[in-house]
Structure formats: structure tokens, C-alpha cells
Amino acid sequence: MTVSLLRISCLILALAACQRQDAAALEAPAPTRSSPLLYSYPAESLARTPLAKATAELRPLRSYCEAPARVGYDEDATTNVGAALSGRVVTLAKRVGDTVAAGDVLAELDSLELGEVQNELLLQRRTEAANAPLVALLETSWRSAERLHAESQGIALTEVHRREAEFRAAAAELRLASAGAAAAINKLTLFGMTPAAIDELQRTGALAPRQPLRAPRAGTVVARHATIGDLVDAEHGALFTLADLGALWVVAEVPERHVGGLALGSTAEVRLLHAPQAEVRGTVAFVAPALDPTTHTAHVRVVVTDPPAELRPGMFCEVRLLVDAKDGGAPPPQLAVPDAAVQLLDGHSVVFVPHGDSGDRFAARQVEVGEARDGFVPIRAGLTAGEVVVSDGSFLVKAQALTAAGGEEN
């Protein structure tokens, strides 16, 4: 009986001790993330790979989007040059890549149609020259007969009328010849003959059926669609394409969610796929008023003036566009650090803050972050303005932290 009582007493005492331990455990504060973990970064590693530091600062972070694009010619400064008449190409004066001035000869055509219109002009001029004296003579005869009949009835009225009819018929034929000559001149002008060449034709009477095809504006020959001997006409299409290479169009396909934030005149960055180091900037000049019904993207035109040699029409590229510029001005500043400063550790976003004066100890500070923009990450909680964090090289400190924690990231 005594042994049983002793055992019961021991059990009661043990149970009471366990209860006191559980109560103490409940009363003790649990570890919190506000007490940062400290990590050391070896001095020899610092000497070999110094860590860059940055200060948490208030910045007006901008929002950007990246969109695929294609480079093309400035359509407002591109000209297709074709034949205005039928003919055969007999000479080609310019090649692709040649720079031309307004009025330069691109090619020459031998044209039967041009010769026919020139001949028509000469025929009408000859008709004019032959009819003009006759019209003057018939008018004099009619006026004299009309005056004689009015004064003395010395001539029959029917004769007066006959002479008037002859004069009016000859005058109508003269006017018709003059109109035909004017129409021929207009047609020759449309064909490209200069006023000096037309005057020379009328002076000499020698047909000149070879017509030069001239550049209507200055530019660079970017395409040629003719060879010597080709038969061409007004429906043949362009024989030459001229473009002003002083400006190029970069047309991007921007998703609809970003279109509302675009602003005309804002700066865009063009990134070349084959030359990512090249810095090419342009200006947003046009945003399509409607979306493509298939891709739900909008055509956005970026104009690049004085483009570098690396930027060529027809190539694909990528455009980085500012998409918070619609309201104008800069957005309100936010506390931010470089995006290289933020690391993921133990499932949380952290930054490494120098601890102490030794320079080789860092505290892992848990932070609440926003979406990275413009190379920076907004900090919503966990840091204050002016605090210093590790930027470039923070992943090395993270690696040291993982090593200290057993080599695994949770």
C-alpha cells in the first residue's frame, strides 16, 4: 500500500512539472522575422569580389512594356516611280543604293506613244499656221460685204450670209486646232517632257520619242524593278522606289492592356536582336485607333531619326515603351532599391543590410516589394529611406546564407 501511494505521488509531481513547462512555453515569445539573421561574408571573398552597395531612395518609378516590332521605311518619305506612258526601257542610270537628287534621270524609255503625241502637236500647229491667214481673209471679205449691203444694197444679203458662214467655219477649225495643240502639250507634260523640250520640238519639228524617267524627289534608290528591254506602261507599277533614309519607322505590336498609357511624343528604346549593345532611341509618333481583331494588339509607330547603320528596314527588333505617360509628368516617388538588391530567401523577399563596422557582416532584412520597374524594385515595408543595402553581389551573400543554413533554400 505504501509503494502504491509513493508511485501515485511521483506521477502527480511529474504531471505538475510538465504543466509548468507547457505554460512557460506558451508565455515565451516566438521568434519573429523582425529579428534579422546575421551572415558573414569572408574577407578574402570581399577582397576578390567586392560588393556594391546602394541607398534606398524615393524615386518616380516609370512603367514600361516591351513589344516585338519591325523596321520599315518612312512611308511619308518613300516614293514609287513608274512610267507615265508605254515604252521600252533602253537605259538604266541608277542602281539600288545610289543617292539621287530631285530631277536626276533614273532611266530612259523609247516610246511610240510619246512620238505619236509629239506628232499630233506638230500637226495641230501646222493646221493653225495654215488656217490663221485664211480666217483673217474670210473675215475681211465678210465684213466688207456686210458693210456694202448696209450702205447701198450693192450686194445680196444671201452673199453676205454665205461669206459669214465660210468665215465662222474656218474660225471654228482654227480654234479646234489650237485646242488640239494645247491638249497635246498637256499630255506631253504629263508624260514628263519639260517646257523647254516642248518648245524645242515645236521649233525644230524633230520628234524625240526617247523620254527620261526622272526622280521626283531626293532620296536613296532602295528598289529597282526594271531591266533593259522591258516593255512598260502606266499600269506596270513602280520601276524604282526612292526613300529618305534620314528617318525610319519602327512599328511595334503593343498589347491592348498597355495601349491606354501610351503618349505621342514619348521616348521609346529600340533594342536590336543582333546588336543588343546598340543604343537606339525614337519617338512615338502614332498609336492606331483600333486593335487588330486577331492579336488584340495595336500598331504603334516609333520614328527613329538619324538611324545608326545597325538599324535596317525589314529587320525584327524589340521596342521598350513608356506606358504611364498618358497623364503627363512623373509619377509620385516611391521608396526603391536596385532590382539586384532583392533576393528570395526562405520563401521571402530580403535585402542584405551591412551590420556593424567590420564590413563583412550582413543582416537579412525581410521586405515587402512591389513590381520591378525601370530597373528598381519598390519597397512597401521593411526599409526606410537612406538605409544602405547590398546591390550587385547580393546573390553572393545569399549563397553564403544558404551555406550557413545547410545549403538548401526553403
Q: Where are the domains of the chain?
A: 37-61+332-404, 64-75+245-322, 112-204
Position 31 confidence tier, pLDDT thresholds 50, 70, 90: very low
Whether the pLDDT of residue 1 is over 50: the answer is: no
Confidence at residue 36, expressed as pLDDT on a 0 to 100 scale: 54
User: What's CA 102's distance to the chain center, in Å?
Assistant: 26
Lowest mean pLDDT among 26-40, 139-153, 366-380: 26-40
CATH class of 37-61+332-404: mainly beta
pLDDT above 60: residue 227: yes
Signed CA dihedral, 372, 373, 379, 380: sign only: negative
Q: How far is CA 233 from the centre of its chain?
A: 34
What stretches of 238-329 adopt beta strand conformation (E)?
A: 238-243, 247-255, 267-272, 280-287, 297-305, 316-322
Instruction: Give the pLDDT confidence score for residue 359 in this predicted structure.
Output: 65
Order the strands of the 361-366 sheet from edge to edge. Answer: 37-40, 361-366, 348-354, 343-345
pLDDT at 5: 45
Structural fold of domain 64-75+245-322: Elongation Factor Tu (Ef-tu); domain 3 (2.40.30)
pTM over 0.85: no
- At 281-304, the pLDDT tens digits run 999 999 999 999 999 999 999 999
Stretch among 65-69, 240-244, 382-386 having the lowest mean pLDDT: 382-386
Q: What is the pLDDT of residues 319-375, one digit of tens each?
A: 999 887 666 556 778 888 888 888 888 788 888 888 777 666 788 888 888 878 778
Confidence tier at 43 by pLDDT (50, 70, 90): low
Q: What one-character-per-residue DSSP string does 212-257 give?
A: EEE-SS-EEEEEE---TT-EE-TTS-EEEEEE-TTEEEEEEEEEHH
